[in-house]
Amino acid sequence: MTGSTTAPDVTRSLPADIRSYFAHRGSIPTLIDFKADEVREDYTQRIAQRVGIDVSQYSVLNVHRIGIEAPVRYVFEEIIRWRGDSPYWPNHVATLQIEEGHPEDVRVVLLGQSIGGLLASVSAGHLGTIFRMHLRTARAFPGDADVDNARYFLWDCSGGYPIGIFSVFARSAIAARGEVEPTQLFFAVGFNPHGRRFLSGIRPVRRTWEAIHNRVTTNVLNRFKLLCEAGFEAEREGKALPPDDQARISMPQSTRP
């Protein structure tokens, strides 16, 4: 790594979230193009092999990837530390109920606790919660058969618009795929809207969701890349890190409900 990388700041308001995650276009494109059926089939097979889930049952499969100039171990430890005030998450738009280092159960609330709570109270819980995530599998260390240092989380998603799965997957670069940075990080979602496959066939609904989701995810991954690279650069050069960055959290190799 050359030069100096600056970590992103935590956004402090709803307008700042909108500017940073919705209006801004991430500098590095991250979306995997599934316009060709064989590309989606390739990823369907790879996801089944690596995280043990069949995503062909879902009408929507969306995968983003970014390369990070930091070791897989370092990147995955940063994922474990995901929390509501992480500087790569639009927490004023999609507020997280998550305990740092304990991602077993996560609730994503629309527009914060007050507005989200109000929507939930007047709609018998049908509004306010964007979705819930329950951890199905966590692998914080590569398996015996892994040759690319793979580590991942796999959550079940329910209780909102996406009913399916969400996975964060990190592994070493594969030169044959043209990958350069030492860590390749993937965000993958597979789901049926509100649990109904036919709803994804309504083009305005699907295209609106994809436009928003893809813009936000690209910005999340770009900001996460900057955070990891700045932190690893500081660690490698022996610079003093903030207290929150000094403590690293360990997860079990595999967790199942």
pLDDT at 143 > cutoff 50? yes
> Closest by alpha carbon to 241, among 100, 81, 11?
81
Residue 63 CB contacts under 8 Å (≥ 6 apart), including other chains? 31, 32, 34, 43, 186, 187, 188, 189
Q: How does pLDDT run across 161-187, given as a tens digit for each residue?
A: 889 999 999 999 999 999 999 999 999
Check: CB of residue 229 under 8 Å from CB of residue 221: no
Q: At 4, is the pLDDT very low, low, confident or very high (cuts 50, 70, 90)?
A: low
Average pLDDT, stretch 109-138? Answer: 69
Check: CB of residue 175 under 8 Å from CB of residue 163: no
Average pLDDT, stretch 13-39? Answer: 93
pLDDT at 124 > cutoff 80? no
pLDDT at 71 > cutoff 90? yes
**pLDDT of res. 30:** 97
> Closest by alpha carbon to 157, among 194, 207, 196?
194
**pLDDT of res. 205:** 78
Joined tokens for residue 193: 């809207």
| End-to-end Cα distance, the chain | 40
**pLDDT of res. 53:** 94
Q: How does pLDDT run across 213-256, given as a tens digit for each residue?
A: 999 999 999 999 999 999 999 988 876 544 444 334 445 444 44
Determine phi and psi for 87, rounding to 5 degrees.
-75, 10
**pLDDT of res. 254:** 46
Half-sphere exposure at residue 136, Cβ-oriented, CA atoms within 13 angstroms: 16
**pLDDT of res. 242:** 47
Check: CB of residue 234 under 8 Å from CB of residue 78: no
Average pLDDT, stretch 191-215? Answer: 84
* Cα–Cα distance measured from residue 45 to residue 57, given in angstroms and rounded to the nearest whole number: 13
**pLDDT of res. 142:** 84
CATH number of the 14-242 domain: 3.30.530.20
CB atoms within 10 A of CB 245: 16
Q: How does pLDDT run across 44-66, given as a tens digit for each residue?
A: 999 999 999 999 999 999 999 99
Beta bridge partners of 96: 108
Higher pLDDT, 146 or 208: 208
Burial code (b: 16+ CB inside 10 Å, e: under 16) for 95-120 equals bbebeeeebeebbbbbbbeeebeebb
Give me the residue label for tokens 């403590």: 247
